[in-house]
Amino acid sequence: MSATVEIPGGIAANRASSGLQVEGEVVQRVVVDRSCRLPVLFFFAAGLAWLLLGSLFGFIASFKMHHPEFLADWSWLTWGRVRVAHLNMVAYGWASQAGIGVGIWLMSRLCRAPLRAPGLTLVAGLFWNLGVTIGVAGILAGHSQSIEWLEFPKYATPLLFVAYALVGIWAVLMFVNRRPGHVYVSQWYLFAAFLWFPWLYGTANVIMQAFPLKGVTYGAVNWWFAHNVLGLWFTPIGLAAAYYMIPKVIGRPVHSYYLSALGFWSLALFYSWNGMHHLIGGPFPIWLITASVVASFMMLIPVLTVAINHHMTMRGHFGRLAESPTLRFTVFGAMIYTLVSLQGVSMAIPAWNKITHFTHYTVGHAHLGMYGFFSMIMFGSMYYIVPRLVGCEWRSPTLIKWHFWLSAYGIILMVLALSVGGFLQGAYLLDPATPFEYVVKSTMLFLQSRSVSGVAIASAHLIFGFHFALMLLRLGRTGGEATTFLSREVRS
């Protein structure tokens, strides 16, 4: 005896329509991924190359802090040049290119439109890397501008600006001509970041290099740029990636649209005023410092709203951290965003700033933001994006575990060493009875600890670089099942 089940025509039609819609979305994603493949992989590969080279220079600079005679016979490897080269390799070579790559892919996906003229974006990437190469070579040759975050010689910056203009114009046109539909939180942050960077970079270079200022005004403009390039360029891209990756991996929407809007607009409103709190005690107008201190405390609004939104989105899904590499890296970075932002607010307190200013504490704060927050989220995003571009999955869950734990423990050790050492350094410097020689010697253990942490972080980068190279060669897993921390190793 057989049974038949009749399905009402309306329900059958709805199911068929739903199936066609899902199939259409899958095809759309494939088309978008195919259009983005070359430029995004180029930005990722070039960024990783600069990250590896920057890690080497970072270790040399760190080692010189407690062994200044190391490589002291070559002028181009003196501490002042190596440290500045490291900063620019990481900021413009690695972080900016990783952010651009992630931003291109996210914007195309969320706008539901393929990347048009990918060859032009690839040319922009080539010009960007040419500019970074010339800039780093100029720094090592002694042509640095001696303006933090703007050290590239004058002959290198036009290449970066032209290269970015090609990417930025594309991003704006992509957003304006997006397909009809919902505008996601991540798109707000990406669109803003792609607009803010040329404004920041162009304004700072014109004011400080084309028409040089005089006297202490340099300091104000320098901190305006240095602080805002972190908060209005790297931060929006990092938050855009987090707002996309967390809901995507766990399969649920962002907790609150209204919290997302509050976090975005309060960041846009308050962050650009923050940089002047680094000038507390300097020869600057008191209103300028006071406005910056107040704005720094107002940053509690976007920081806490983002933290609450991410936590409530993750609620009930924290067990997935044991499985998903993307989720583990991204959630770690999102948690560090909250921590580093609260730390930044505390540094606007004059009594605390008096101790930590001009010490290793500030260096630890910068590393926590650029690496613990931004870079970790970029790693998580790349673990999600790359398989969709190359057509295979990550080969080894063990390599991913090593990458995560070496990076996480490395940055935690580095920040703890620099924070504790910097606090003691500041406290000793405020005591007139403490000899300066004693202050220097008291920081040695902490500086040596930073070098140890640098070895761990550099090892993580080597592992990730090797794993990424396997993916480019399409030596990853086949079969379509995503690699998780619970996956078995591939036996070859």
CATH of region 32-472: 1.20.210.10
Count of alpha carbons within 13 angstroms of residue 151, beta-carbon side: 26
Q: What pairs with residue 477 in β-bridges? A: 393
- Pairwise CA distance, residues 299 & 269, whole Å: 9
Is residue 59 within 8 A of residue 454, CB to CB? The reply is: yes
> What are the extents of the domains in the chain?
32-472
At 477, give phi and psi (nearest 5°): -75, 145
The pLDDT, as a whole number, for residue 10 is 47
Query: Residue 368 carries which DSSP code?
Result: I
pTM of the shown model: 0.94
What is the torsional sign of CA 160, 162, 166, 168? positive
* pLDDT tens-digit readout, 278-289: 999 999 999 999
Mean pLDDT score, 327-336: 98
Closest of 125, 40, 144 to residue 87, by C-alpha? 144
pLDDT band at 12 (very low <50, low <70, confident <90, very high): very low
CB of 379 within 8 A of CB of 329? yes
Alpha-carbon distance values, 411 to 191, 247, 406 (Å): 30, 26, 8
pLDDT in tens, 179-209: 888 889 999 999 999 999 999 999 999 988 7
Sign of the alpha-carbon torsion through 243, 339, 349, 62: negative
Show Cβ contacts of residue 148 under 8 Å, excluding neighbours closer than 6 positions.
Answer: 87, 222, 226
Task: Write out pLDDT tens, residues 91-117.
Answer: 999 999 999 999 999 999 999 989 888
Query: What's the CA gap between 150 and 201, in Å, rounded?
Result: 9
Q: Are 372 and 457 in contact (CB under 8 A)?
A: no
How many Å apart are CA 213 and CA 307, to the nearest integer?
39
Query: Residues with Cβ < 8 Å from 304, sequence gap 6 or more?
Result: 338
Q: What is the pLDDT of residue 134?
A: 98
What is d(CA 330, CA 327) in angstroms, rounded to the nearest whole number?
5
In the numeric block, which tokens belong to residue 236?
């929006």
- In the predicted model, what is the mean pLDDT of the chain? 92
Residue 21 has pLDDT above 60, yes or no: no
- Residue 211 predicted with pLDDT over 80: no
How far apart CA 328 and CA 321 sit, in angstroms, is 5
Q: 78: alpha, beta or left, given left = phi > 0 and alpha = psi -120 to 50?
A: beta
Band (pLDDT 50/70/90 cuts) for residue 24 is low
Question: What is the rounded CA–CA span in Å between residue 422 and residue 356?
Answer: 6
